[in-house]
Structure 1
């Protein structure tokens, strides 16, 4: 069956590509995330930073989502709606293409002319295993970029990993700091909240989460009672790919849920404690040097090679409390709330931070200057 949405996407991408062959590049920037359907992540924070710090640069967020388009317009941010024929030439002329979820430009449009500067900021340090991308060598004959001119990573180990996975020359990697991490550090505050942000389980639905991950009514009651006692709030941010609904929170005064597609950055910057599992969100959070609880009730299942599997020995790279039940989460929180002793994980947090962020001294200025130094036709 034909996918009409995909056909339209290819048609617009093709029109932009053809226009880009005839049009001269200008110095403008285009930014996008998650295939054009999100305003988030490193692209968002680099986009906003350039707008604030380099007013001479012409920048546009490109989206395929009408609601995002309307929202950014209402905030007076420069935005282009992808499926508008009037925007084809503006998109085609832009020199810098900045993505987070694609190393080939697909966050904005599918076929990137080789005269463009394609920048991949990526969306996180990998903890879970990833599959290799297929090589698209045929694109070399069509004047279409197959790999980025710059791929942002935070360590040499990630450069080597992505180089192998995506067939990208090692000299295309820039080791720096994610724009979203720079943003996280700059806005950090502690307001007595706990953020629970688990990742998704491939192919698992409501039954699996109810049985293995989600708390019972009794566990929620006990947790809420403790939160009230210590004056803390508990925020839940499910991964957008989780195919399950968290239990109703109507009766719990200090427990709330954040919409799955909402940007997690604000909640993360304010969290006193992060609870996660196999999500790479904790790598960013290490930069705040705060307590982490790793809730892994299904570790034996998740770690299997037949499932996702992990790139590292889990215990070696997860500096924090380990919990396999909601009662154990509550016990760990009680220790943290009482604050009777210095964190036993402070030293290991620093060690893992330095392992995965090897150039913390570099910032958005360094990334911007590197992007601007890239010549056409790289």
Structure 2
């Protein structure tokens, strides 16, 4: 019986390889010979479900140059109206015939998760498109553990197909823009054994596109008022109160995130918010929002953003710019907010469990803390009651190191480095 299973498995692996070979033979001539338009750029983010993050802010920079670039945003129908309302960019449905045409003729692609997730939808490009990767956050924790990304198969048939013919190799090795880690640390954080592994010669510590917006506008009262009023009108929030924003990271295997909406201490929290003339806005991680149909609503002065609002209506960078204080745990939004020199509370209620089961290469919260660290609700309530000056006075010895490369011109630096602009 075991011999039969082994034989059938070998046959299946051989068929898998043959499928990849046929795909390669069918598509490679067209992909290899089709002329590429050096002014055509394809953008995408978050599996095609969001018009946001670093690709959006790099898009805004490219359009501001007025150099005749053709910009296309690849996505799913849920963001069509959002993209079509944005001047200068054309919406393209992922996986459509039109998408394939653009993949055959474009020279550039900008992503934050990866080409397959955000743009190509497994359509082969065989290295003909230059993939520009800003990732989706600063590496506050190990962003590419082997537990989260598949290595090359040990089976020789699949290994051959993966390395030479598969959808994975159809992606050009990415040109990375990152924030502040040494090349040795980045090799550890990006431990791929496949063709797009992290390489110093294909990377630059330029910073991140989305943080450019925060640095350039953190002291711009007109822009802050504009975006705050816009968000307030969409969500029904008051503009005459301070906004305290809660943005936790995603937990893969240890249950749902903590929510202030269901805390047994909401009475005490609301009392502090009332005293501070503030509201607490809770925005859960996109993974949580997508998997759970969160309806949103109020609990005293605590407001929960719904899945629809948080995923499609609200720009996270504008929400950060509008907020006076950030509550987070291990999320890289810390790095975005830290560049604005505003108060931060690290609420790490599951620190021991998280660092032992979720992200074993997570950097010590005490080292990089940009404000008080709370391990329990008692400690959190004490931290929340502190005034801004007291919060800002609490810093870890490496506070600011994660954003050392952020100077407010990452887009320009990266665009020149890759040869997109002179």
The TM tier, using the shorter chain, reads 0.7 to 0.9
What residue is the counterpart of 1:371 in the other structure? 418
Q: TM-score, normalised by structure 1?
A: 0.81
Q: TM-score, normalised by structure 2?
A: 0.73
Say which of 322, 325, 329 aligns to 1:277: 329
Q: RMSD between aligned alpha carbons?
A: 3.3
Q: Helix, strand or coil for the counterpart of 1:352?
A: coil
> 8 Å contact 2:181–2:402 — kept in the other structure?
no
2:81 counterpart of 1:70: yes
What residue is the counterpart of 1:332 in the other structure? 383
> 8 Å contact 1:98–1:105 — kept in the other structure?
no
Question: How far apart in 1 are the matches of 2:359 and 2:249?
Answer: 12
Q: Where in structure 1 are there 5+ consecutive unaligned residues? A: 1-9
Q: Once the 2 structures are TM-superposed, how far is the Cα of residue 319 of structure 1 from its aligned partner?
A: 2.9
Question: How far apart in 2 are the matches of 1:87 and 1:249?
Answer: 38
Q: Once the 2 structures are TM-superposed, how far is the Cα of residue 302 of structure 1 from its aligned partner?
A: 1.1
2:263 counterpart of 1:252: no
Q: Once the 2 structures are TM-superposed, how far is the Cα of residue 140 of structure 1 from its aligned partner?
A: 5.7
Q: Where in structure 2 are there 5+ consecutive unaligned residues? A: 1-19, 153-158, 219-223, 226-240
> 8 Å contact 2:58–2:209 — kept in the other structure?
yes
Say which of 93, 107, 120 aligns to 2:118: 107
2:350 counterpart of 1:298: yes
Question: How far apart in 2 are the matches of 1:336 and 1:184?
Answer: 23
> 8 Å contact 1:16–1:89 — kept in the other structure?
no
Distance of aligned partners of 1:86 and 1:283 in 2 relative to their CA distance in 1, 3 Å threshold: closer
What residue is the counterpart of 1:343 in the other structure? 392
Q: Helix, strand or coil for the counterpart of 1:293?
A: strand
Pick the structure with greater CA Rg: 2
Length, aligned pairs only: 353
What residue is the counterpart of 2:209 in the other structure? 179
Larger mean Cα displacement after TM superposition, 50-59 or 78-87: 78-87
Q: Helix, strand or coil for the counterpart of 1:261?
A: helix
> 8 Å contact 2:344–2:391 — kept in the other structure?
no
What residue is the counterpart of 2:247 in the other structure? 197
> 8 Å contact 2:175–2:418 — kept in the other structure?
yes
Displaced runs of 4 or more, over 6 A: 13-18, 244-248
Distance of aligned partners of 1:181 and 1:52 in 2 relative to their CA distance in 1, 3 Å threshold: same
Question: How far apart in 1 are the matches of 2:301 and 2:208?
Answer: 35
> 8 Å contact 1:16–1:92 — kept in the other structure?
no
